[in-house]
A and B are shown apart, each in its own frame.
Chain A
């Protein structure tokens, strides 16, 4: 059924903030069930504004947004949030409970889960994110990286069909980033639709999701990571830079190497092949 495949459908979406800032200027796109998407683009491009439309926090000034076939204007944020879990950039904007456990069960209570189910889910998600030892600890005592994981846990707990992460890698060290990447990829392989909003090009390169590039409230490119992120013109327009590996291959282009290489492993393979072929 078409409904299942087109999970998010955005049609000519315009949005203007009450102060007159026109943050989105005609966006059309659709995201299918089980996709992995990265929304990228410069500061102020409208990425956060766009994803706030997916769970109904913002309603279109013009155009419409359909989630699973339902127009977001006709349902409450709470109803939409059951399907669309949005994790905000800064965990400190949502943490308020006395213990990590309470923090994670907050949403479950709001959504009316019964006590048994709440306990079960809290336990499961805290194990999944390696937070179980902090169960009874105040979230304010944790480090930045850990607070970010608590915020993620508190959304994952109700198992939304679509998971949206706004700037998940800011301030994280590379070990935490690698763990986060594995975790996201795993969720996606289990069938969850995952959308990340980020500037972190090296992080994205390792996930190879579908890329949506935004600039000044418009989508300027939409396609494969390998295709979009190796296009110098698009990438600089979105205030990004080429991935490190691509920068190497752009220079090796004169020697007959392809330009659109983004992964280290592929790079190694190509160079080895060339050398051994020579020999």
Chain B
């Protein structure tokens, strides 16, 4: 069953001359891990804002076409209702945490919904444990490192127990090791809790291995959509300047020299296995 479905979705910001994206047709199944990428300004953030109704309720402008998210039409339901089904995590951790303790921040959404206190307590503790920050619960968010802050942001949408989590460049301010651990958490949420994940990223080297599907946008349109191994091979992905992981580039270069490594690799582990295979089979 599709958890997100759009047909001919077109959106224009107020006062903008041309649409930020046009005729987007998208169908995302429950439990998928979708990597959304494309050049700067192609409309990725704008599309994410439609999933929980920030567009059109917060931004105004002109939204045409159909969109259904978790069985609801974001155009007809207020943002706070969509927020129970779709969690958004943004790029800058500093501007999405407002409380003075981590625990209070994670509880914010649940308090807004007006759940009973012991239910809030239970869910907050659960979300803190899943994201590995239970020990930090009494600290002030602004005393934490960027990576820890981003975990708080994830915990605070997770506490709402949404079906879908949308993350807009959640690692771009982080050092590589913190970025990696954030991606691993997201992967676990997807694998173990079966939450649908939509991850916007420019750096594909770390994220590609987790994705079931890659969507590439360019100038407001979806130009490629499919299995990562297939999408990365497509000429167009390189031409518009998507950051194809280096392992795929190496694979393609070797291919150009007549060496077939078999399956397209998504991580250094995969490609080194293929290389080892070619080396050993060559020997025999």
- Once A145-B41, A171-B169 are accepted as A-B contacts, the answer to whether A255 and B279 lie under 8 Å apart by CB is yes
User: DSSP class of A's interface residues: helix, strand, loop or mixed?
Assistant: helix
Which residue from chain B places its CB closest to the CB of A179 in the assembled complex?
Answer: B241
Q: In this assembly, does A227 line the interface, its C-beta being within 8 Å of a C-beta of chain B?
A: no
Chain A 174-190 interface 0/1 with B at a Cβ cutoff of 8 Å (1 = within): 11111000000000000
When the two chains form their complex, are residues A43 and B174 in contact, meaning their CB atoms are under 8 A apart? Answer: yes
The answer to whether residues A173 and B39 also contact, given A44-B145, A248-B271, A275-B279 and a CB cut-off of 8 A, is yes
Q: Do B173 and A170 have beta carbons less than 8 Å apart?
A: yes
Most chain-A Cβ atoms within 10 A of its Cβ — which of B249, B259, B272?
A: B272
Contact A42 B175 (CB under 8 A): yes
B275 within 8 A of A: yes
14 residue pairs bridging A and B, Cβ less than 8 Å apart: A143-B41, A144-B41, A145-B40, A171-B91, A172-B40, A200-B203, A240-B176, A241-B176, A247-B268, A248-B268, A268-B253, A272-B254, A272-B257, A278-B283
Contact A199 B174, CB 8 Å, known A43-B145, A251-B269: yes
- In whole angstroms, how far apart are the Cα atoms of A200 and B250 in the complex? 19
Interface positions of B (Cβ within 8 A of A):
38-41, 91, 145-147, 169, 172-178, 180, 202-203, 205, 240-247, 249-250, 253-254, 257, 259, 268-269, 271-272, 275-276, 278-279, 282-283
* CB-based closest 10 A-B pairs: A175-B241, A174-B243, A247-B268, A251-B272, A239-B177, A244-B246, A239-B175, A173-B40, A199-B175, A241-B176
Q: Kindly provide the distance from the CB of A20 to the nearest chain B CB, expressed in whole angstroms.
A: 14
Contact A248/B272 with A170-B172, A202-B246 known, Cβ cut-off 8 Å: yes
Annotate A226-260 by CB proximity to B: 1 below 8 A, 0 otherwise: 00000000001001110111011001100100000
Q: How far is the CA of A170 from the CA of B171 in the complex (A)?
A: 10
Report if A117 contacts B (CB, 8 A).
Answer: no
Assess whether B41 is in contact with A178, with CB atoms less than 8 Å apart: no
Which of A44, A174, A275 makes the CB contact (< 8 A) with B202? A174
Q: Does A274 reach chain B (CB closer than 8 Å)? A: yes
Q: Tell me how far the C-beta of B274 lies from the nearest C-beta in chain A, rounded to whole angstroms.
A: 10
